[in-house]
Amino acid sequence: MKIDSLIDEELKNPEFAAAYRDEGELLDTAITLYHAREAAGLTQIELAERASTTQATIARIERGDNVSFAKYAQIAHALGKRVKVSFE
């Protein structure tokens, strides 16, 4: 069975579907932060210093860990950006 078929089958389970969606959203955030940091030419340490946080926090977010909205905003502001929420 191909992985896509397996995932499609598992998505029929509401609990799995919710967890799958949540993880996807965290990974989207992780990728977005990574690309914004790279585009700014900053290392994790440099961004952490600008955002008054730790390199470990930046690394955790870039791995897909969840943090507060306030922390995302703090990091976005350090990049000269703002957090934008949309419901799609």
Mind listing the pLDDT tens digit for each residue in 27-83?
Answer: 999 999 999 999 999 999 999 999 999 999 999 999 999 999 999 999 999 999 999
| Distance in angstroms (rounded) separating the CA atoms of residues 11 and 38 | 33
Query: What residues does each domain of the chain span?
Result: 3-78
Give CATH for domain 3-78: 1.10.260.40
User: CB of 58 within 8 A of CB of 48?
Assistant: yes
| Distance in angstroms (rounded) separating the CA atoms of residues 37 and 41 | 6
- In eight-state DSSP terms, residue 4 is H
What pTM was computed for the model? 0.80
Tokens of residue 60, six digits: 């955790």
